Amino acid sequence: MFALLKKEINSFFSSPIGYLVIGLFLVVNGLFLWVFQGSYNILDSGFADLSPFFTLAPWIFLFLIPAVTMKSFSEEFKQGTLELLLTRPITKWELVLGKYFGSLLLILLALLPTLIYVVTIYNLGNPEGNLDSGAIIGSYIGLIFLGASYAAIGLFTSSLTENQIVAFILAVFLCFVCFFAFEGLAGLNLFTAGSFGLEDLGISSHYDSISRGVIDTRDIIYFFSFIVFFLALTKFSINNSKR
């Protein structure tokens, strides 16, 4: 599995994909947080607070992570190399996990340079260092779980088709539904007796909960269950692939 993980990372950085993903993530965030005027601009808000970044990042991840994962299995199907991979002494679970952790590592590398935002906010505080470190740490943990969940979805959609564009569009749609749709439906008050905890089925509720700086085991269990569910669907899809 580690050989496959290394192969995935090398494939990202031997082509422009890895550099584009990290570069676009940092540039788009930087423009909205520090340059463009609006509700996300930290300097305009007058508060040394990173909450605009953690509000904006899920939207950027919504497009960037499917772009990372869309070729994971689609390219193997198109080039006919999946059978070659399966002849190696690895199980299908190891194959899925190798590709998954390769994508996840790239996401973590994209997040790493954003720690400079924390240093900037620390220095902008009045007095210096006046920031909610618990909320920031919790928000980063939530963002990692969010990226891991999006990556699991993207890997699954990539296992459904050999067309990378189709895999990308399916991943964006599913990520959007899983993050925003349940909370949106709960807010419509379609059920007279209440929402029946509908918002708890979506990622947004659990992401917001962790972002408050409170690590609840229910949120951790939700994210792990969500990720394992989509990875299991990926393995099932590969088992039943007729390509």
Residues of the chain scoring pLDDT < 50: 192-194
Alpha-carbon gap, residue 126 to 130, rounded angstroms: 6
From residue 45, give the alpha-carbon distance in Å to each of 85, 110, 131: 52, 25, 15
Measured in whole angstroms, the distance separating CA 185 from the mean position of its chain's CA atoms is: 22
**Cβ atoms of residues 149 and 207 within 8 Å:** no
Which long-range contacts does 210-216 make (Cβ < 8 Å, 24+ apart)? 210/138, 210/139, 210/141, 210/142, 210/145, 211/54, 211/135, 211/138, 211/139, 211/142, 212/135, 212/138, 213/132, 213/134, 213/135, 213/136, 213/137, 213/138, 213/139, 214/138, 215/138, 215/141
**Cβ atoms of residues 90 and 1 within 8 Å:** yes
| 16 phi/psi in degrees, rounded to 5 | -70, -10
Alpha-carbon gap, residue 98 to 82, rounded angstroms: 13
Q: Which helix (H) or strand (E) holds 188?
A: none
Alpha-carbon gap, residue 73 to 236, rounded angstroms: 13
Apex 139 CA angle, 136 and 145, nearest 5: 145
> What tokens were used for 4?
């496959």
Q: What is the predicted pLDDT for the residue at 193?
A: 47
Q: What is the predicted pLDDT for the residue at 194?
A: 47
Per residue in 128-182, pLDDT (tens digit) is 777 778 888 989 999 999 999 999 999 999 999 989 999 999 999 999 999 887 7
> What tokens were used for 122?
């620390």
Q: What is the predicted pLDDT for the residue at 189?
A: 60
> What tokens were used for 109?
């590398």
> What tokens were used for 201?
């089925």
Q: What is the predicted pLDDT for the residue at 149?
A: 96
**Cβ atoms of residues 206 and 219 within 8 Å:** yes
**Cβ atoms of residues 155 and 69 within 8 Å:** yes
**Number of neighbours of residue 81 by Cβ within 10 angstroms:** 11
DSSP 59-72: HHHHHHHHHHHTTT
**Cβ atoms of residues 143 and 152 within 8 Å:** no
